[in-house]
Amino acid sequence: MTDYDAGRNKVDDYEVLLSSEQIAKRVKEIAEVISNDYRGKRPLLIGVLKGAVIFLSDLIRFLTIPVEIDFIAVSSYGNATASSGVVRILKDLEQSIQGKDVLIVEDIVDTGLTLNYLADNLGSRQPNSLRVVTLLDKPDRRKVKFEPDYCGFNIPDRFVVGYGLDYGEDYRQLSDLRVLDE
Ligand code: IMP
Ligand code: MG
């Protein structure tokens, strides 16, 4: 099947950084680690909209423990590829997280500004525990110190799309993770 973006550009030529098979294998591995770490618990997984929806959907189906899910939406980028450094909550959680074992599920850590802000904000709501799982990490791009508790892949400083990640809302539905070179 040929994938197109909204401008009907072919994306087959875009370099595949991680194939859907590689991603699935790694997501399963992370799910096993998380299932072990949270054995006997029922964590609340908080997906960061919108980029993390595909990762969260795949991750929870590999978990062997009961979970709840909720979503939060933040904006720090507008429609650009460079971080403005401004983080805003666009949609908040539906519930209190007080006393809960919270696991933030993110697509990618780049400058670290988003998760730094989210971890602070959610941490102040008195959860029992708070951890972060990210599918991707670009450690070279950090502006603030931030270490995810679980990470799928460290990737180089390139702009990637697919598997939930977008550029101007395009490409989220691609199964593979591809490099978008400007
Ligand atoms: P941070 O606050 O700079 O760590 O940015 C994290 C957010 O920026 C992610 O949740 C993504 O939405 C977005 N982002 C960063 N790098 C990429 C990329 O390579 N592709 C798509 N989105 C990205
Ligand atoms: Mg995101």
Q: What is the pLDDT of residues 42-79, one digit of tens each?
A: 999 999 999 999 999 999 999 999 999 999 999 875 55
151 CB near ligand 1 (under 6 Å): no
Predicted local confidence at residue 3, as pLDDT: 59
Residue in 5, 101, 107, 110 annotated catalytic = 110
CB 119, CB 104: distance < 8 Å: yes
Rounded Cα distance, 91 and 46, in Å: 12
Query: Is 47's C-beta closer than 6 angstroms to any atom of ligand 1?
Result: no
Ligand nearest to the CA of 137: 1
170 a catalytic residue: no
Residue 81 is predicted with a pLDDT of 53
User: Token pair for residue 150?
Assistant: 């679980």
Q: What does R_g of the chain's alpha carbons equal in angstroms?
A: 16
Instruction: Assess contact for 165 and 107: CB atoms under 8 A.
Output: yes
Closest residue by Cα to atom 16, ligand 1, is 110
Distance from the alpha carbon of residue 108 to the mean position of ligand 1, in angstroms: 6
Q: Whose alpha carbon is nearest atom 8 of ligand 1?
A: 110
Low-confidence ranges of the chain (pLDDT < 50): none
Q: Are 80 and 22 contacting, i.e. CB atoms less than 8 angstroms apart? A: no
d(CA 94, CA 12): 39
Ligand 1 contact via 163 beta carbon (within 6 Å): no
- The response to whether residue 127 sits with its C-beta less than 6 Å from ligand 1 reads no
pLDDT at residue number 13 = 86
> How do strand 101-109 and strand 129-137 relate by DSSP bridges?
parallel
pLDDT at 137: 98
Cα–Cα distance, 34 to 17 (Å, whole number): 25
Domains of the chain listed by start with CATH number: 19-159 (3.40.50.2020)
Q: Which protein residues have a CB closer than 5 Å to ligand 2 (ion)?
A: 51, 107
pLDDT in the model for residue 11: 85
pLDDT at residue 54, rounded to an integer: 98
